[in-house]
Structure 1
Amino acid sequence: MKLPVAFSAVTFAFSLPATVFAGSSEITVEDAWARASIGISRPGAAYMTIRNTGDEAVILTGLSTELALMPDIHRSTTNEQGVTSMSPADDIEIPGGGAVVLEPGGLHAMLMQLQRPMKEGGSFDLTLEFSDGGKAQVEVPILDIAARGPED
């Protein structure tokens, strides 16, 4: 059976291990990863690079996943006294031709109210939602609890 080109392209995009395309096909998500969690009583986090290959800015407005009831983008900041705090980030602009990195100690996907433990060697689907209605789904591999990046 011959599949429509659009269906084949979508199937191909979702089969890539660390890169997916949003509805506009100008957003790629690279190097997604997460650390194993300590049970479900504490939040998890996910990290990645969100790249905009287009000319216009794209706004990341939200996240969804079956893994957590309250996924959100958070920002870690450290004040002059060396105290680090975390708070929800507003919408995130990915500039045309630019990228936003979600990483430990900065912007990150906070996964609150986990529905199951994040176990090393597993993975979960995370959907990024954009202001233009586009979405990007990425499979996020779960690494060791002490991982420091996607190469660990």
Structure 2
Amino acid sequence: MRRMTFAALAALVPFFAPEAALAGSDDVVVEQPWARASIGVSRPGAAYMTVLNNGEEAVTLTGLSTSLAAMPEIHRSTTTAEGLSSMAPAGEITIAPGESVALEPGGLHAMLMRLQTAMIEGEAFPLTLAFSDGGEVTVDVPILNIAARGPED
């Protein structure tokens, strides 16, 4: 009788795991993704969207990936009462059941640092959102003009 190694068994687990293991991210819907064109690759870009949790359990957005940028992260922009603006990594974002999180200019957003290619108006790029349950959601993000203020521009 031939024995399977632990590594071989572990490789089969995803094929036999119950679907509920990825239920959280399966209930995520991304609406109205968009980005602005960039000026070359020397400055970072940003992407915006609404992430909706249609499920009955909270989901946690843990990271981003895209071939467009070597360092994509969720950032948060804030402005103090004195009018000083700053931006910093936001870390993980938990979305309650039935709720949504807006990634929009001036707040949470997908920061695309170390661009690998310029973001050109009229093109699009794939952006993958990773969740704590191991699931992923990939969306195509259309690139709008450099002065766009929202997905309708």
Same fold, TM exceeding 0.5? yes
* Conserved 8 A contact 1:29-1:48: yes
Residues 1:103 and 2:96 aligned together: no
- 1:55 Cα offset (Å): 1.1
Identical columns (%): 68
Moved over 6 A (4+): none
Structure 2: runs of 5+ lacking an equivalent: 1-22
Aligned residues: 131
Amino acid aligned to 2:99: G
Structure 1: runs of 5+ lacking an equivalent: 1-21
Higher Cα Rg: structure 1 or 2? 2
Amino acid aligned to 2:128: T
TM-score, with structure 1 as normaliser: 0.84
Amino acid aligned to 2:137: A
Alpha-carbon distance between aligned partners in 2 of 1:45 and 1:150, rounded to the nearest angstrom: 13
- 1:23 Cα offset (Å): 7.3
The answer for the alignment partner of 2:120 in structure 1 is 119
The answer for the alignment partner of 1:141 in structure 2 is 142
Amino acid aligned to 1:107: L
- 1:90 Cα offset (Å): 1.5
TM-score, with structure 2 as normaliser: 0.84
* Conserved 8 A contact 1:101-1:107: yes
- 1:24 Cα offset (Å): 4.1
